[in-house]
Amino acid sequence: MPSHHKHLTNDPATLVIDSLKGLCLLNPHVRVDERYKVLYKRSPSKDQVSLISGGGSGHEPAHAGFVGDGMLSAAVCGNIFASPNAAQIRRAIELVGNPKGTLIVVKNYTGDALNFGLASEQYKASGGKGDVRVLIVGDDVAVGRTQGGIVGRRGLAGTILVYKIAAALSRSGASLDDVEAAAKQVAENIGTIGVGLEHCHVPGTEEAESHLGVDEIELGMGIHNEPGTQRLKPLPKLSKLVDQMLTMLTSTTDKERSFVRFRNDGTDEVVLMVNNLGAVSELEMGAIAGEAVSWLNNHNFKTRRVLVGTYMTSLNMPGFSLTLHLLPRPNSTDGLSASKLLELLDEPTEAPGWKWHARSEPSFAEEVDASTESETKLSTGSSVSLRAEDPKVFIEAIKRAANDVIAAEPEITRQDQIAGDGDAGLTLKAGAEGVLKALSDGRISGEDVISAVMTLAEVVDERMGGTSGALYSIFLSALAKGLKDAAESSSAADLAVWAKTSASALNTLQKYTRARPPSRTLIDPLTAFVDALPNGLLGAVDAAKRAAEETKKLSAKAGRAAYVNQEDLAKANVPDPGAFGVAVIVAGLAGVEGPKA
């Protein structure tokens, strides 16, 4: 089956902003901040909790299509399949945040979790108005508990149900506590699984070979072109395919995938969402919805609502996903009742991406009559300063590390083409080039390491983006906070100060990632380095290099590599590219030989 490689664009590089500008022309109630790629309500209410979502572009109408009265206050748009950076997200909070509070609802992907978490913490630390909370939604059931490891379930189309209900409750004037509680209640009771006849194609990239044969379909598809969990051949009939998908969703015996507490005893009441992943015809969507509703009815589920349409896509992927939201039982006293949740789901909205649905249950009683048819920057200033022990050596170490990263880019890229999505080397190189530019501009000085580290945090966040950019920026931001505290009792940053503040920074970083050694991530060598630093820099560098080398032997427990075939990864015998990059950096700081490929 040929890849759908043709696209209608002026320039792939401007496609995201061109799309957002088009939405503004269609919807007079929204505006776009072109620099930060934020679509937001023109007149957000100051008496309602604000709802923000976002992530990489390519999933439209999610999330920009759901900005409007009764749904999102703002959506933050990254490049295609890439998380927006923290500066973009902070801008969204500034545009729509208010004293009533802000709830951010995002899909469970590492980059989104880190960058939205980082922006939230930065906004609160800067004294912004109102509390900001982040809810990370994981509704995928395809990747089992063992394979998913510590990264958990991927966020898919069920995320939209979470913020639709939360936003409707917010419009009634509910508090941030109540809105967050309702969102969590929905998030804990949804499951989604997707299938695809083929992978999608990203505008601006080369034409790809077909991933699947003409008689194959892939089950367990994500929304970022990652492979599914299994291939079905020959292509099954729709009824059999839907049966397999809904059986996986509602199983109570599969220890790997029984995420939602179904009983399968005739008492389960559900909301069904049938979502077009991008290129399934309306003709087929109707047939899919009919099969799904019939299956639920035949298996004694009470289907209270059916939503069918294009909610969250993977560009032009020919596939669909099924989502079930298990409603509370009549005697439940935890959270909102089923009737209240349905009332909130049925609330009208001006968001153009929200599809019409019948505010009633599907009926099987009658035969169908065939005759009727602004610029945001982190403050690097501080009332206190802390000098490096030797300011010149401090600057030389940073410059050396940045140059070493640039030199290592081809090797890191090679590793990531095997173990990830191929962008790790270029991402680190972009960050290193940004650091060298900041050095050249005089923005980094050894006379004030607090300001210097804050500048590094800002540079890597802006230049790198994605998962690694957020990880580095969170660590560096927390490191700067630790150095600021240390300045109260120290006049210069010696080894003891760096060791103590690095340990504190690592502890802060661990709030935003569940990766712990051994995880085959950059956390492995970073933790080894920080743990060994009190005993000397050179020993800490050796520990980091050993930890990076050890990742060759590990199964991935976090990051995109957690979703790839672990046997193939082991045979490739490459280290985690992020871990290798950390080893390159710390070796450069110390002025010693870096890790061996």
- Does 57 carry a binding-site annotation? yes
Residues involved in catalysis: 224
The pLDDT value recorded for residue 393 is: 97
From the list 53, 22, 23, 16, the residue with the least C-alpha distance to 37 is 16
The pLDDT value recorded for residue 567 is: 77
Q: At 213, give phi and psi (nearest 5°).
A: -75, 170
The pLDDT value recorded for residue 1 is: 42
Average pLDDT over residues 71-93: 96
Q: Number of C-alpha atoms within 13 angstroms, CB side, residue 82?
A: 22
Instruction: Give, in degrees to the nearest 5, the angle at Cα 127 between 123 and 130.
Output: 75
- At 381, the pLDDT band (50, 70, 90 cuts) reads low
- Does 357 carry a binding-site annotation? no
pLDDT of 376 above 80: no
The pLDDT value recorded for residue 367 is: 54
The pLDDT value recorded for residue 363 is: 85
The pLDDT value recorded for residue 4 is: 72
The per-residue pLDDT for range 496-526, each reduced to its tens digit, is 999 999 999 999 999 999 999 999 999 999 9
Compute the chain's Rg from CA coordinates: 25
Question: Token pair of 463, please?
Answer: 């230049």
Helices (H), 441-576: 449-464, 466-486, 495-509, 523-532, 537-550, 566-572
User: In this predicted model, which residue has the larger pLDDT, 474 or 368?
Assistant: 474
Domain range annotation of the chain: 12-181, 191-346, 387-590
Task: Indicate the average pLDDT of the chain.
Answer: 92
Least confident of 79-88, 89-98, 361-370, 441-450: 361-370
The pLDDT value recorded for residue 151 is: 83
* Under 8 Å between Cβ of 90 and 379: no
The per-residue pLDDT for range 284-313, each reduced to its tens digit, is 999 999 999 999 999 999 999 999 999 999
User: In this predicted model, which residue has the larger pLDDT, 562 or 182?
Assistant: 182
How far is CA 109 from its chain centroid? 3
Question: Token pair of 444, please?
Answer: 């980094």
- Does 390 carry a binding-site annotation? no
- Does 112 carry a binding-site annotation? yes
The pLDDT value recorded for residue 128 is: 86
The per-residue pLDDT for range 187-243, each reduced to its tens digit, is 999 999 999 999 998 898 887 777 788 899 999 988 988 888 889 999 999 999 999
Asked whether the domain spanning 387-590 has the same topology as the one spanning 12-181, the reply is no
- Does 68 carry a binding-site annotation? no
The pLDDT value recorded for residue 275 is: 98
pLDDT of 373 above 50: no
Superfamily of domain 12-181: Dihydroxyacetone kinase; domain 1 (3.40.50.10440)
Q: What percent of the chain stands above pLDDT 90?
A: 81
The per-residue pLDDT for range 554-565, each reduced to its tens digit, is 987 766 666 666
pLDDT of 591 above 70: yes
The pLDDT value recorded for residue 377 is: 57
The CB-based long-range contact list for 479-488 (8 Å cut-off, 24+ gap) reads: 479/453, 479/504, 479/505, 480/450, 480/453, 480/454, 481/505, 481/508, 483/386, 483/449, 483/450, 483/453, 484/382, 484/384, 484/386, 484/450, 486/386, 487/384, 487/385, 487/386, 487/450, 488/384
The per-residue pLDDT for range 403-440, each reduced to its tens digit, is 999 999 999 999 988 888 788 999 999 999 999 999 99
- The CATH code for residues 387-590 is 1.25.40.340
The pLDDT value recorded for residue 183 is: 98
Question: For 269, which DSSP code?
Answer: E
Which one is the CATH code of 191-346: 3.30.1180.20, 1.10.4100.10, 3.10.20.30, 3.90.245.10? 3.30.1180.20
Estimate the crossing angle of helix 424-440 against helix 391-419, to 10 degrees: 160
* Under 8 Å between Cβ of 33 and 91: yes
The pLDDT value recorded for residue 374 is: 47
The pLDDT value recorded for residue 564 is: 64
The per-residue pLDDT for range 127-144, each reduced to its tens digit, is 888 999 999 999 999 988
- Does 63 carry a binding-site annotation? no
Cα–Cα dist 337/422, whole Å? 46
The pLDDT value recorded for residue 32 is: 98
